[in-house]
Structure 1
């Protein structure tokens, strides 16, 4: 469902690094559901708004926010990197969602969800990855760059990639180098909570091989991967949104 044109103004949190992070917080029962969006997406997107309405319909606490350089938060996208956006998420969770949480991470948000689970494993009551894209700066961008693009990034500080979502994607040297400090598929990663990975078979941004690699890598006793035939990276069709809601219902039943 589309974002509401009459949506109320967000609240803002000022981080310890003086970044202004825009957010919408819905009060309700815990554990709180927290949505972590993808690269260059924002909290007014289809999945974020759908999940907020899902949470309200069930009296569930819910949080959606914009990383710095995204949406209504401060900063320029080209100045940011995975480490910055993970810092934003960590501070938002610490200050606005101090109890246990269920994380729903879309694309890059899946990577950041895994970083949050590694940082505070005891706080994770569940995790849903929607086309999760761990380590994409290295295994996606860098691995696919030509020698000329690699030289441009490292020598000139950035390169521009065509994007089906609008303006070219600017990939910076800082994004590549910082990404290497935050990789999650190179060392053991355990999650002591239910994990559900949802992936469309027609996703051209994140290949299903990434989901299979994550499935094999995670140390988790309750881990399922669902491939949905014909769905793309957006994973926002009514069928996909209903699937996310059903998996959340199952995860939240009895969660404390």
Structure 2
């Protein structure tokens, strides 16, 4: 399936690439991380699981990512949430389990807020957050800005930072992303997801400290949250044992969904 051309959804003039596997409810919707795409290890593993289990699976690339159009530097949380909601409403039919990785967890939580406002919250059957990074711009980026970073933001509108995952392509953080991130914060108040939540977090994560996941848990209803800390897990959570844990969590959420 991954070798076929994606479907294209026009969202406010931007072509968003979508891959959809038909199947039964609850469906699974993948929400990738910052600079990730829908053909990564975890997304492919979930697609394989969906093929075997018969569940529907929906995934897409945000603008500026993977097979979608748009310019990466133009991206903001608001824009990527808008695109994800459009994909959800156009392709993910019936009840869904959202699986958000890193920044995708932030997108998922903002989606749930918007779906609740529009009276669609019952469509969310569960939430699986992997190395979740909600509010990462204000919680993890801004507190560590150097004077050099601040000058670059003021003069150029962005700054670059080395990425150990793609050494030839540094991470880019724009002033627009940071400012928009403040308007999309979710961890400054209680978060009512209206569904069971499973969180998987690596203790050895160099990008999102496990204390961030613990803080997130403190914002969620305690009776609906399961947190799994992986002692030797990193940010990617893409090793075979990590993938196995992710699939077990999905299966548990499917059972909880009834």
Taking structure 1 as the reference length, what is the TM-score of the superposition?
A: 0.94
Report whether the alignment pairs 1:67 with 2:50: no
Alpha carbons 2:159, 2:172 under 8 Å: kept: yes
Q: In the alignment, what sits opposite 1:142? A: 142
* Alpha-carbon distance in structure 2 between the residues aligned to 1:123 and 1:177: 30
Question: For the residues of structure 1 that align with 2:256 and 2:14, how far apart are their CA atoms?
Answer: 36
The answer to whether 1:13 aligns with 2:9 is yes
Q: Give the distance between the partners of 2:122 and 2:257, measured in 1 at CA.
A: 13
Following the alignment from structure 2 to structure 1, what is the Cα–Cα distance between the partners of residues 191 and 79?
21
* Aligned equivalent of 1:128: 128
Residue 215 of structure 1 corresponds to 217
TM-superposed CA distance for 1:113, in Å, is 0.7
Helix, strand or coil for the counterpart of 2:183? coil
Kept after mapping to 1: 8 A contact 2:27/2:93: no
Moved over 6 A (4+): none
Shift, 1:220, TM fit: 5.1
**Mapping 1:78-97, distance limit 5 Å:** 78-97=73-92
**Structure ranking higher in helix proportion:** 2
Contact 1:21 1:74 in 2 (8 A): yes
The SS at the match of 2:229 is strand
2:158 counterpart of 1:163: no
- In structure 1, what is the Cα distance between the partners aligned to 2:108 and 2:154? 28
Count of aligned pairs: 251
Aligned equivalents of 2:183 and 2:59: distance in 1?
A: 26
For residues 17-61 of structure 1, the C-alpha deviation after alignment (integer angstroms, 9 at most, x for no partner) is 111111110000012100000000001100001000101100000
In the alignment, the residues of structure 2 paired with residue 220 and residue 193 of structure 1 have an alpha-carbon distance, to the nearest angstrom, of: 12
Gaps spanning 5+ residues in structure 2: where?
Answer: 116-120
Q: 2:118 aligns to what?
A: none
Query: TM-score when scaled to structure 2?
Result: 0.94
